[in-house]
Every structure is written in structure tokens, then in C-alpha cells.
Chain A
Amino acid sequence: MPQQPDVSLDGLYGDLVMDHYRNPRNRTPLDDADVEAEEFNPFCGDRATFQLSLDDDGMVAGVSARSEGCSIIQAATSMLSSLLPGKSLGEVEELGTSYRESMRNGLKDDGVDGLGDLLALQVVRQYPVRIKCALLPLVALEEGIKAYRSKS
């Protein structure tokens, strides 16, 4: 079972979260994006943008993920982006479901969530008003996939 992070602020602003916040992955915009979406948090104006390009087999080949806002949004965006290459859109959606489920109800006992660095965001569950920050990039990603499916 994955270790539950401690709940002090050092936990919320732990090394992994701060690393993704300070050095966000996959920020370069894509010219050839197949999937694209931006989502705003109406309560604070923060935003997250996702772009994905797909290879001939429909697998994620390129990822661009950018966000503006607090450390949690930025870290979540970066962490999520780093898990996407090589996955099918269906697998991306499954990952999204596991991630949302984990933020709402905690980790499953078997621990095989495939959540990678996103596990570090479990500590956000101690700060319920911030959960929506952690999930905003996922909403952007899902909206992008939905729009892509409806047009293709």
C-alpha cells in the first residue's frame, strides 16, 4: 500500500509537489495537436490547458500542458502530463477516473492505481477546498478528449 503522506503543510508543499511546481514538465506548446482544451476555475480565474498529439495507432505521442494558478494546479498539471505518453485515449480516461476517484475517496487498498507522481497529491484531500485545484487539469484533459471524439 502506498505510503500516506503526512498532513502538515510540509506534506502539502512537499518536495515532489514543489518540484513539479518549480519545474513543470511538458510546457512547450504543440503545433500539431489533435486534442486540445482549456478549463477555467470560475472561483479564482485559474486555468489549465492540455494539448495531445496522437500517432497512427491513436497513442499519445506528444503532450503539452500549461497552467496558471496556485502550486497545486501547476503541480497537478505537470504530474498528469508526465503520465500520458504512450497511452491510448481510453487509457488516459481510465487514468483520469482513477485519479478523480483517489482525490475523492482515497487510494484503493491494492495501490495499483498507476498514478505515479500524482500520488503525492493525496495530501490535498486534507484541504477539501483545494481538491478542485488538483482536478482542474483533469477536467481540461477530459473536455479535450470529449471534443476530439465528437468531431472524429
Chain B
Amino acid sequence: MTTGDRSTSAAAFDVHKVRDDFPILKQQVNGNPLVYLDNGATSQKPQSVIDAIVRYYTTENSNVHRGVHTLSQRATDDYEGARAKIRKFINAGDDREIIFTRNTTEGINLVAHTYARQHVGPGDDIIVSNMEHHSNIVPWQMLCEEKGANLKVVPIDDTGELLMDEYEQMLSPRTKLVSITHVSNALGTILPAAKIVELAHAHGAPVLLDGAQAVPHMPVDMQELDCDFYVFSGHKLFGPTGIGILYGKAELLEAMPPFMGGGDMIKSVTFEKTIYNDLPYKFEAGTPDIASAIALGAAVDYVTNLGFDQITAHEEELLRYGTQALTSIAGVRLVGTAPHKAGILSFVMDKAHPHDIGTILDEQGIAIRTGHHCAQPVMQRFRIPATARASLAFYNTKEDIDALVKGIDRVLEVFS
């Protein structure tokens, strides 16, 4: 972070002032003030992000990288400006390493269809963990089936921590890719990503990190992590839906074939031969979601201005408060109790199914996620079909946690 960011962060974190920036949080739901605790599914958007979308369509809508006219130039400048902001946000070395995608899922599929399809063969291994989102399981299963390769799964312990010894033993010259989550969406576990990368590299295997649940909560630094690919979604980072990021090391991206063919990803086309465009455009076929990319840039500005010093301190305090509150309710059990966690409180109740918990909380204006969180294997690991999950963002308050506790009391009343 720059010195300028630090001086901004030095001001006291006023959560109520921050909440004023999020218009959606001001509403009532079912007669109660909205308590939004479903940030792991998607985050809310500050006014500056909403304004960026409106401004784009109001004043500069046109296509990028094409026209010589003024609007096209403005749109291109802002689109590329957003790329530069994101490069800085994750401390990547070069703007060419930032590929705009639709979301995390598309980023993973892109790597599966290009890098992995080229490098994985019969009898090779791809390693994932037991706590992956389906989007970091299914593309690899499909590829392994196609190639006759093996999908290996690193187990986790009862708290939700990755068993690093088992991981190390799994690595071999046959390991062609490690694809692991940075923060578990179902449990909140923060994985030792840098160590995971270091061990894989010692065996010559590249690493993709799924950062969908990490980037909203902590600074991520491509130089420190040294991962080969990093993917995340804009909409969980207080930006719009429809835009995501794939970071890849330039030398890998250069050597990879394109993912989709079309406009913008080529230099020249004849029926005899097509020459592909340079990075990052080689991987951005077709007109992108320009407005969302620009708005994601605005989201990154917003988060950077708040500063992760403040964000993580506030969220850690909330997580501590929430963990304490939920563990003191008889009949409630937290799932995911790793010592190093991001703001996710996944829980089950002895007497009520997560769907019933979700409906009763909703009646009180409290939004949480219920279900398997697109992570069925980790549910099976804990021998439960589903959990109720409260997931935090920096705009949440202790009052939100108190409302959750009161809501759970109501569940206990109905299902006593």
C-alpha cells in the first residue's frame, strides 16, 4: 500500500459512516431493518460503484479498442484504467497479466481449457483440497476425465485446516497443477497460500489460487504469494456482477493458447491464418462488460481508500464477537473453527434444518445463506447436508451479530 493509503487509514474507522455509502443497507425487509450477512454469496455496492455504472452509460458508452472517436477513446481509457487499478490492488507486475473474465468460475475454466489442457496428460495429477467450491472441482474433473489424469484431494482436519503434511506427500513429478482456495467459502479457513505455492514449485508444479473469498477481506500480493494464477469475482469485492479477474504470470499466459476465439483477441485474420493479439487481449474475445470493469475499478478505489488495516481489524473483531456469541448458544455448533479464519460463521443447529433457520431469520430481515454453499464435498467431510452461513463484510456491525443471535433465539423458540 502507498503512504497515501496509510494516512487515509489512520483516521478512525467509523462503520456507521461507511454504511452510509451503501444505499441498499438503509432499507427495511419484512418490517425490520435489513441485516445483511450473506456477503460470501455477494457483497453490496457503495454509491461510488453504482455511480460509475451510471456515469459510463450516461456519458461515454461506446466500444473499447475499436473506434477513433472520442467516446471510444474515453471508454478505452477507463477500461484500461480499471485494469491498472486492479493490477496495483493485487500487486501484479504488469497490466498484461490482468485478464477480465465474467467471474471466478470463468477464470478457472479458462486455465483448465488452455494451460491445463496443454500440460496435463494420462496418469498426471491435479491437486485440489477437500474444501473447494464446485467451480474449483468440476472443471478439473472434466479435464481429468478427458485426459485420463487423476484428481487428488488434500484432506482437512476437524477444524477445517488443510493437512499440510498430506499435501506435501501428494506432490510428485506427476503433479501438473495445484488448484486450491485461498479462503474457504463454506468454512472461512484462510489457507497458508504462500507455503502451498512454495511446496508446489519445489516439485515443479504451478499453482492456481481461488481468491473469490479472500480479496474482500485481506490484501493479496502476487509478488508475496508467487502463485501462477489467481482468480476472483468483482461482485464479492463490492463491484458489479458479470466481471471477474484472472491474474496469470506473463510467461505462462504468453505460452497458452487462447480460450475463446473472436474479435479483439486477434491481430489479423485471413482464412489461411489468424495471428493472435498480445496479452491481455488474447484472452478477451468479444466486447467485454465495459461498464462492470470500470465499476470494479471504482470498487477497488473504495476498498483501497478504506484500507485493509482497518477492514481486517474491524472484521476480526466482528468474527471474534460473533464466534463468542454463537458458541455460547446451546444447540448451535460452528462448522469451521480453524484458528486462522476470514469473516465466515457457518453453523448448524441440533433442532432446526438450515432452510428453516434461513426462513425464520429472513422474517426478521436477516439475510444469510443456507445450503451446501456449492461445496458438497466439505459438507460430506463434516457429515452434514448443509449449514447456515453468516458471512461478514466491513460494513457489518456488532448490532448485526446481536440481531442474528436474537433471530436464532426465535428459531429455538419455534423448534424447541
Contacts and interface: CB of A to CB of B under 8 A. Distances in A.
Interface of A: 9, 12-13, 43-46, 68-72, 127, 130, 133
A125 B363 CA distance: 15
Nearest to A8: B363
Contacts of A12: 359
Contacts of A69: 353, 355, 385
14 contacts: A9-B360, A9-B414, A12-B359, A13-B414, A13-B415, A44-B370, A44-B371, A45-B385, A46-B353, A46-B386, A70-B354, A127-B359, A130-B355, A133-B355
Given A9-B414, A13-B414, A70-B354, A44 B385 contact: yes
Interface string B183-220: 00000000000000000000000000000000000000
A133 B386 CA distance: 14
Contact of A70 (B355, B363, B372, B376): B355
A45 B372 contact: yes
A21 to B, nearest CB: 9
B319 interface: no
A72 B355 contact: yes
A61 B414 CA distance: 35
A70 B353 contact: yes
A70 B348 CA distance: 12
A71 B353 CA distance: 7
A46 B358 CA distance: 15
Nearest to B370: A44
Contacts of B386: 44-46
A127 B376 CA distance: 25
Contacts of B414: 9, 13
Given A44-B385, A44-B386, A70 B356 contact: yes
Contacts of A133: 355
Contacts of A130: 355, 359
B363 A9 contact: yes
A23 to B, nearest CB: 14
Contacts of A46: 353, 355, 385-386
A8 to B, nearest CB: 8
B379 interface: yes
Interface string B296-328: 000000000000000000000000000000000
A40 to B, nearest CB: 10
Nearest to A22: B415
Contacts of A70: 353-356
Contacts of B379: 45
